[in-house]
Amino acid sequence: MPRPYKTRWIYGAFEADYFKPRGRPMADLEEIRLEADELEALRLADLEDLYQDAAAEKMGISRQTFGNILKRAHQKVADALIGGKAIRMNPAASGRQWCRRCGRPWAGTNLEPGREECPECSVEEKEARHGHGHRG
Ligand SMILES: [Zn+2]
């Protein structure tokens, strides 16, 4: 039975959707697909240098799941670089949105429709609501 798929938050804007080795015709190339969550894991862990638990929290998944995604991403990239394969990057399934609150662009892999705030703003609001117990 497939496990229920949890939405992953993607904040990175990615500048390209395809890489291929120079001077080799497409027909001869093997292609590797990097999913949006794998690309985001690389961005957070390797480029922004976040700790895995911080990065996992940002994406809305467990640290273990993040570790698995990151490991898969590293293997795919290494396979492409060393084996001379092309990399196709899949965009996030739901497309990009802009948070109505902070204006930050973000996307989800399996987004509920009509969501207007990015996950970080939602978390802040929840903390604000629960953090200050006394009202009025
Ligand atoms: Zn926001």
- 122 C-alpha to center of ligand 1: Å? 7
pLDDT given for residue 76 in this prediction: 98
Note the pTM of the prediction, 2 decimals: 0.77
pLDDT given for residue 39 in this prediction: 94
pLDDT given for residue 66 in this prediction: 97
pLDDT band of 26, cuts 50, 70, 90: confident
What is the signed CA dihedral for 92, 93, 94, 99, rounded to 10 degrees? -20
Nearest to 110 by CA among 45, 37, 40, 39: 37
CB atoms within 5 A of ion ligand 1 belong to 99, 101-102, 118, 121
pLDDT given for residue 54 in this prediction: 95
Q: Phi/psi zone of residue 25: left (φ > 0), alpha (ψ -120 to 50 degrees), beta?
A: beta
- 117 C-alpha to center of ligand 1: Å? 5
pLDDT tens per residue across span 30-80? 999 999 999 999 999 999 999 999 999 999 999 999 999 999 999 999 999
Please, what sign has the CA dihedral across residues 107, 108, 110, 114? Answer: negative
pLDDT given for residue 37 in this prediction: 92
- 67 C-alpha to center of ligand 1: Å? 25
Give the single-character DSSP code of 92: P
- 108 C-alpha to center of ligand 1: Å? 13
Helix (H) or strand (E) holding 122: helix 119-131
